[in-house]
Every structure is written in C-alpha cells, then in structure tokens.
Amino acid sequence: MSGSWIWRKLLKYRDKAKEFHRREIGDGRATFFWFDIWSDLGCLYDITGYRGIIDTGIPLNATIAMAKTARRRRRHRTEHLVLIEEALSALSEEKDISLWRNTTSEFKPYFSSKNTWTQIRDARPLVQWHKGIWFKFATPKYAFCSWLAIRNRLSTGDRMIAWNPGISSECIFCSATNETRDHLFFSCPFSATIWTRLASGLLATRFTTDWHTLTQLISDDGLAPIPMFLTRYVLQCAIYSIWRERNSRRHGKTPNAASRIIQQLDKQVRNRLSTIRSSGFTKLEGSLQFWFATR
C-alpha cells in the first residue's frame, strides 16, 4: 500500500525537508550513517550511492556508532570516501541531537514553523491592507474569506459569467444589477442593511458602505485599539456571513432574513469578545462593554 493521501503528499516533500534538518553527533547511536545529514558532506548515500556501501563496508542501515566500532578504517583513493573516513573519527559520549535550520546558514536545536515558512516562501512587498485582514484574535475562516474578497477572488456573478456566459450574473439578494464584489459589500440593500445595523454605531461619523473606503479604514491605525479591532472583526464576520447566505440562496436553500443574520453576527461578536476577556489580553479590556454601548 502507498498510504493515505496526506502521507503521500508529505513524502513528496522529503527532499525539501532534508534541507532543514541535520544531526549533531554525540555517541552516534541515534543517527543513521548513510541517510541522516550529520557531516558537511550532506546525505552520504546521495553522494556515493550503493557503491559507497561496498567500498566502505558499512551496512545500509548502520548507525554512526555501528560504522565506527564494527569495522576497520580503510584507505581510499576517492576524495569523498577519504572525507567520510575522517568524519567518522568525531564521536563523544553525549547523545545525538536534532538540529533545525532557522536561517539560511544557522541550525538550532528547536524547530520554528515561522522561520521555516519564511525560508521556503516567496517573499513579496507588504500590501497596505494586510493589518486589516491578519490580526490577533481574528477567526481564520472569516479572515480567509475576507482575504479572497479584498483580492476580488470570490466567485461573484461578474466573474462567473466570464467562465459560463449562460449563467445569471444578477445579485441574488436584490436582482437590481450585476453581482460584483463592490455591490455585494455593501451597495446591495440587503447587505447594506446588515452592515448598517452592525457598524453604524461603532463607526459613528466614519460609517460608510463603500468598499474601497472600508478597506482604507481597516488599514489605518488612526482608531483606538478597541474600535479598530471591532471594526476589522465585524467586517470579516459580515463578509463571511453574507457570502455564505449568497451561496445558500444560489443553491436553493431557504433564505434567511437580514434580521436573523444580524442576530447571529451579534452573538458571534459577543462570543469572541468573551473569549478575549477570559484570555486576559489587557489591550482589549472593556471591548465587550464597548460593543454593547454601540448596539
């Protein structure tokens, strides 16, 4: 058997993972001689192939300790085999240690997912709106949907008609115009009602239903921490819920009234703020009371 789908996917990245792991040798008992990276030469089997096993007399599954004690040193003409013999001389009484690459040239005895991701990803310049999408205490599925929306990658009517000219591109909520990202958030009367009930008290004079103004607002640090967090979080909740309702209606499910969605979103915000309060995060202390005051 080849294993599960996720296991096969992990196996595909073995060569990539090997670049980030090496062994610091102590007594050599927990490190495989041929397959672990323990010397500056790299993976020895990749260098010598099966011929190296014959030339050195070291078994395929031998540990470094076995390679050191169960054989006599040999003379070799090939340079890499000479280097392998020299590397075998460095053993101590300490245990072997796993090292993980934290930077391009530095290995540490702990693994950092952040540092690993930084090294394997393609770095791009920061966009202006990144702080409005990725922030502390955001709900991941809401943030992801908002990220798609801000990049205009949601399958709105104007985009779907480019793939299938026979499909209806009208807004499922108002049927008054083509469904675009900017119309859905929040020029449509249905979504505008939801957003107004949720955010008008929160934003006061800065309230708007214009998409581009909203993206500038959540990217600006001009608001105090509590109003800024609530604005960003409520916007993501609204985007996710409206998009979910839109998809439900397009697939023939029973529609929800705007009042019901508003009630659900209000409960979601209160639950998130209660979770933040119980976590002891002082920067947003009093956010639940502030939310109640805006309702």
pLDDT digits (tens, 9 = 90+) for 194-253: 999 999 999 999 999 999 999 999 998 778 899 999 999 999 999 999 999 999 999 999
- Shared domain for 144 and 286, answered yes or no, is yes
- Shared domain for 113 and 141, answered yes or no, is no
pLDDT digits (tens, 9 = 90+) for 97-153: 999 999 888 999 999 998 998 898 888 888 889 999 999 999 999 999 999 999 999
Tokens, residue 208: 């708007």
| Claim: this prediction has a pTM higher than 0.75 | no
Out of 99, 120, 141, a domain closes at 120
For residue 258, pLDDT over 80 is answered with yes
- Shared domain for 20 and 153, answered yes or no, is no
Domain range for 77: 5-120
- Shared domain for 115 and 144, answered yes or no, is no
pLDDT digits (tens, 9 = 90+) for 166-206: 888 999 999 989 999 999 999 999 999 999 999 999 999 99
Confidence of residue 86 (pLDDT cuts 50, 70, 90): confident
Task: Average the pLDDT over each of 17-21, 33-37, 90-94 and give the range with the smallest value.
Answer: 90-94
Nearest by Cα to 193 from 129, 265, 287: 265
> Are the beta carbons of 234 and 223 closer than 8 angstroms?
no
- Shared domain for 182 and 91, answered yes or no, is no
pLDDT at residue 72 in the model:
66
63 belongs to a structural domain: yes
- Shared domain for 49 and 11, answered yes or no, is yes
- Shared domain for 139 and 282, answered yes or no, is yes
Q: At 223, which amino acid appears? A: L
> Are the beta carbons of 140 and 152 closer than 8 angstroms?
no
- Shared domain for 139 and 249, answered yes or no, is yes
For residue 85, pLDDT over 80 is answered with no
Out of 120, 147, 168, a domain closes at 120
Which residues are registered as beta bridge partners of 97?
24
pLDDT digits (tens, 9 = 90+) for 45-67: 888 898 888 888 888 999 988 88
pLDDT at residue 198 in the model:
96
Nearest by Cα to 119 from 108, 103, 98, 105: 103
Average pLDDT over residues 257-277: 96
18 belongs to a structural domain: yes
Give the whole-number percent of the chain exceeding pLDDT 70. 97
- Mapped to the 3 state alphabet, what secondary structure does the chain carry? CCCCHHHHHHHHCHHHHHCCEEEECCCCCCCECCCCCCCCCCCHHHHHCHHHHHHHCCCCCCEHHHHHHCCCCCCCCCHHHHHHHHHCCCCCCCCCEEEEECCCCCEECCCCHHHHHHHHCCCCCCCCCHHHHCCCCCCHHHHHHHHHHHCCCCCCHHHHHHHCCCCCCECCCCCCCECCHHHHHHHCHHHHHHHHHHHHHHHHHHCCCCHHHHHHHHHCCCCCHHHHHHHHHHHHHHHHHHHHHHHHHHCCCCCCCHHHHHHHHHHHHHHHHHHHHHHCCHHHCCHHHHHHHHC
- Shared domain for 284 and 147, answered yes or no, is yes
- Shared domain for 84 and 39, answered yes or no, is yes
125 belongs to a structural domain: no
222 belongs to a structural domain: yes
- Shared domain for 158 and 101, answered yes or no, is no
135 belongs to a structural domain: yes
How many domains does the chain fold into?
Answer: 2
Sheet with strand 21-24: strands edge to edge? 21-24, 97-101, 107-108
CA angle 241, 196, 268 (to 5 degrees): 40
Out of 73, 89, 120, a domain closes at 120
Structural Rg of the chain based on CA atoms: 29
- Shared domain for 212 and 287, answered yes or no, is yes
